[in-house]
Amino acid sequence: MAENVEYTEDNIRSLDWKEHIRMRPGMYIGKLGDGSSPDDGIYILLKEVLDNCIDEFVMGAGKTIEIVIKEQEVSVRDYGRGIPLGKIVDVVSKMNTGGKYDSRAFKKSVGLNGVGTKAVNALSSAFRVESNRDNQTKFATFEAGNLTKEAVPLESSKRKGTKVTFTPDSSIFKNYRYRNEYIVKMIKYYVYLNPGLTIDFNGEKYFSENGLKDLLEDLVNETDLLYPIIHLRGNDIEVALTHSKTQYSEEYHSFVNGQNTTQGGTHLSAFREAIVKTVREFFGKNYDASDIRKSVISAISIKVMEPVFESQTKTKLGSTEMGEKMPTVRSYINDFLGTQLDNYLHKNPETADKIQRKIMQAEKERKELSGIRKLARDRAKKASLHNKKLRDCRVHLGDLKKDRRLESTVFITEGDSASGSITKSRDVNTQAVFSLRGKPLNTFGMTKKIVYENEEFNLLQSALNIEDSLADLRYNNIVIATDADVDGMHIRLLLITFFLQFFPELIKEGHLYILQTPLYRVRDKKQTFYCYSEQERVDAINALRGKEEITRFKGLGEISPDEFKHFIGEDIRLDPIMLDKSTTIEELLQFYMGKNTPDRQKFIINNLKVELDLAEPAS
């Protein structure tokens, strides 16, 4: 029987703006994280500040943005119009306050809810805002959203603009650090979407002349392009499109008003539809949509008046209209591609011919695989009912809101003992477990047919829901959880090979990780240290002064569920798997999984890290 708790006026609380943000940060910035994932909160804080700088550039004020990050302190300086000095405190500390509510001052802006910099302020242990305009300068400082000083305006010869400096609060963002790779990717997106803008990050400048064409060229090795990138521009829309020679599934990058909508939305749905419609009409044939879009790599950017997003982090567009008295998003994109892509194909018959050949090849492969795909899907459905390979989380069982997908994680484990420990320790709301049976097959050089014929890979593909595209990926984080020994390293490599071979966009988009678990536990009666390296073990021994008990964890299954909670909870350590564009996927796979040599074996054992960079292989 439930405890009878008295409910009175004393139970009613009113939180001020900063208290609410600090108590419920997920409502404002999505997940927290430690910086190992590109959508972790510390990057959202940076993005919120940058969005304001970008809006200044879009309005024709300031062509340069300077970012400096030293350890945990972030500084962002633009050369825009500068915040009106009398409102410098209000715009960073009063909810629903900002210039973007006045459409005369900001048009087609990303930040329309008046929350962005307030969230940064509230979630920072130190926050400083400075504005320079009208030959004057003024600053204000805060701690956890509380105003500590508001300076009086002084005469100044500084260039106009705004500078924000903040340090994310380490009591909220545990053990965090900024990864330059994610920041550089964010910066590149900003300059691709805003040709003419220069962003200086720690002394390195980023600039783009060709917009989304530059984006695709940066993502795809030239040797993998089936034909030159199709680049189309119009009022409030830009598109870049090509097909890969080797990639199996579809890859899309979508943006609204400069915001990277990683979960797509109405504009991406319309874009995928428009590609199919235009190609069918051009060739006069009712090709299957999956054959037309197979291996497509593309990007779309649109600008919408007062966009509506489905979450505070603006990762999915919900708007159906381009703006007041303007066409729908769907009809606008369909009309644009129906005219511009059709014109391009007529003017470039060689490209049109290559696209048609690609479609016909995809159709042939689909028909050859149709029987086995149906059997594989049936097997996957039956398996999901009768076996325990996948222990799902509530995000996908209908118990939680879908917008928590950003928090969802699936651990791919080896063996019953390891999967058992993780299953008992996990957060059942957002963490799922997929159990491997033995070592996975080496898929190097194999065709997509093997994905359907091999039970393990067929069930894994089904669990992730990635057969045709990433649009419906069920888990934001895919984490390989294996023992930290040679066998575990080999299983990691085999799984990475599978994803590189058939789903490289999972890695490109930052969804694949390695779980780091401790090698040692060093403890006495009062303290326990979990050590992830030999140096940490030595430091722990020195701290306990010779009265310690040392345990070497030989496998994940040896870690008790109670202890495992520490390693997959708030203090989880994830290392992202990243691709180095200078090396093609074919070269990577050939090196790691090709003809076996002693040198290659030695290199793998000594150097296999999660950053796949073969620039200087060991001899």
What's the pLDDT tens digit per position in 237-263? 999 999 998 888 888 999 988 888 878
DSSP 262: T
Cβ neighbours, 10 Å, residue 195: 15
Q: What is the pLDDT of residue 335?
A: 93
How far is Cα 210 from Cα 191, in angstroms, rounded to an integer? Answer: 10
Taking the whole predicted model, whether its pTM rises above 0.95 is answered as: no
Q: What structural domains and CATH numbers belong to the chain?
A: 17-206 (3.30.565.10), 212-365 (3.30.230.10), 387-517+556-612 (3.40.50.670), 518-552 (no CATH)
How far is Cα 448 from Cα 112, in angstroms, rounded to an integer? Answer: 45
**Which one, of 232, 248, 217, lies nearest residue 300 by Cα?**
232
**Which one, of 314, 403, 312, 257, lies nearest residue 119 by Cα?**
312
Asked if residues 540 and 519 have their Cβ atoms less than 8 Å apart, the reply is: no
Residues facing 259 on adjacent strands: 256
Q: What is the pLDDT of residue 106?
A: 42
Q: What is the pLDDT of residue 8?
A: 60
Tell me the one-letter amino acid at 539.
Answer: D
Asked if residues 524 and 492 have their Cβ atoms less than 8 Å apart, the reply is: no
- For the chain, how far is it from start to end, CA to CA, in angstroms? 69
DSSP 319: -
Distances (CA, A) of 602 to 462, 514, 591, 597, 606: 35, 21, 12, 9, 6
Residues facing 253 on adjacent strands: 299
Asked if residues 411 and 433 have their Cβ atoms less than 8 Å apart, the reply is: yes
Asked if residues 507 and 579 have their Cβ atoms less than 8 Å apart, the reply is: yes
Q: What is the pLDDT of residue 614?
A: 37
Asked if residues 169 and 163 have their Cβ atoms less than 8 Å apart, the reply is: no
**Which one, of 297, 566, 264, lies nearest residue 421 by Cα?**
566
If you compute the radius of gyration of the chain from its CA atoms, what whole number of angstroms results?
26
The H-assigned helical ranges of 503-560 are: 504-508, 534-544
Q: What is the pLDDT of residue 419?
A: 82
Tell me if residue 104 falls in helix, strand or coil.
coil
DSSP 611: E
And the tokens for 388?
């325990």
How far is Cα 421 from Cα 433, in angstroms, rounded to an integer? Answer: 10
And the tokens for 261?
């909508």
Asked if residues 500 and 588 have their Cβ atoms less than 8 Å apart, the reply is: yes
* 2-15 pLDDT tens trace: 456 565 656 555 56
Q: What is the pLDDT of residue 363?
A: 93
CA quadruple 419, 424, 428, 432: dihedral, nearest 10: 0
The stretches in the chain having pLDDT less than 70 are 1-15, 96-115, 311-314, 319, 323-325, 382-388, 397-404, 580-588, 590-592, 594-619
